[in-house]
Structure 1
Amino acid sequence: MKEQDLLLTLRRDTVKAFEQAYDAYSEKLLYYIYSKTGDKKRSEDILQEVFIDFWSKLDRIDTSIYGYLFNSTKYQILNYYRSEKVKEKYLIHLSNFLQDINSITPQKYLEAKEIMEQIEALVAQLPPQCRKVFTMSRFEHKSNDEIAEELQISKRTVENYITKSLAFIREHNISIYLVISYLIDREP
């Protein structure tokens, strides 16, 4: 079926269009995903995510269905690699933590727990969008570009939210500000 016919079907019958798009493109996309991941099970999971996303946005697609699916596929592959990178980073931190666990005294543990509770309390007071951007930046270690793309806002807006968050935290607790500013990874 031609792309234009599939777009017309999409306007009349979304279920039929979904099925036709799946039949037409799933094999090509699966092959592409597998060529990037080398993992059959993971490739199938990514393909499923692509088509779930496609289904949820059927009403907004008005150009090339294949183009949309291919871009979604690339995005899902990037998410996969980002997720793997986060898992790897977490395992390294966990390994370091387990190695250092003998040197952690109950006093140090309580101090760290108290600081984390103070950070969480201050972050909870931020406006919702500001809190979301700040959390993505400081705790999920996403770059400003990644945040801007994910939230569909400008990079400058992301920078403003982070600056506003840090100013709020500095104003309310300078020691917590120093912890957040210097001990938590920041974008270079």
Structure 2
Amino acid sequence: MKRYDAPLRSYFSKRVNRYEDVDDLVQELYGRVWASKGARDIQNPDGYIFQAAANLLKERYRNRGTRDAAMSELPFFNAGNEVITPERILQGKDELRLLEQALAELPPRTRTVFLLHRFEGFKYREIADRIDVSVSSIEKHIAAAAHHIAARLDRK
């Protein structure tokens, strides 16, 4: 189980707002996996562990009681003291639509590289190894995507 420590900590730290919760989540996950271990032979331990981690997060937020309490702990929903008004919701939807359009306009490989880095948290080296290109190539893809998206979002 020790080999999963770093990947699980990384997984949880990207998905919760409070770093103090990461250790608790890892410990709870280990307890659940240990308790269910005798129930069946696990064919794909990596997939099982991370699916269990995703389920643990879903359960945790579901049990928070209210949607707002759960959302306040997610970094991308925690926008400080910004008041959520109907106008702000429409503005956010428009920005999301523009982002989706800008992403769709990118060449497939550039889009994949950008999404792996910005939304999945992969490092340049990890992406380069995954798609078998140089780190320099990854840097160029990221720069091209960022430039294109910034230009499209400014055009509104």
* TM-score, normalised via structure 1 length: 0.45
Greater helix share, structure number:
1
Q: Judging changes above 3 Å, is the alpha-carbon distance between structure 1 residues 93 and 135 closer, same or farther for their aligned structure 2 residues?
A: farther
Contact 2:98 2:152 in 1 (8 A): no
- Structure 2 unmatched ranges of 5 or more: 6-29, 62-68
Q: Judging changes above 3 Å, is the alpha-carbon distance between structure 1 residues 129 and 93 closer, same or farther for their aligned structure 2 residues?
A: farther
**Residue 150 (structure 2) pairs with residue 170 (structure 1):** yes
Q: State the one-letter code of the partner of 1:148.
A: A
Q: Judging changes above 3 Å, is the alpha-carbon distance between structure 1 residues 49 and 155 closer, same or farther for their aligned structure 2 residues?
A: farther
Q: Which has the larger radius of gyration?
A: 1
**Residue 132 (structure 2) pairs with residue 152 (structure 1):** yes
Partner SS, residue 134 of structure 1 = helix
Q: Judging changes above 3 Å, is the alpha-carbon distance between structure 1 residues 93 and 128 closer, same or farther for their aligned structure 2 residues?
A: farther
Identity of aligned residues (%): 24
RMSD: 4.3
Deviations 1:28-54, CA, capped at 9 Å, x for gaps:
xxxxx4775643348x99x6236xxxx
Deviations 1:76-101, CA, capped at 9 Å, x for gaps:
49x94xx76xx59xx69823448989
Q: Which runs of 4+ in 1 moved over 6 A?
A: 98-102
Residue matched to 2:107: 127
- Structure 1 unmatched ranges of 5 or more: 1-32, 51-75, 177-188
Residue matched to 1:104: 84
Q: Once the 2 structures are TM-superposed, how far is the Cα of residue 140 of structure 1 from its aligned partner?
A: 1.9
**Residue 117 (structure 2) pairs with residue 140 (structure 1):** no
Residue matched to 2:44: 49
* TM-score, normalised via structure 2 length: 0.52
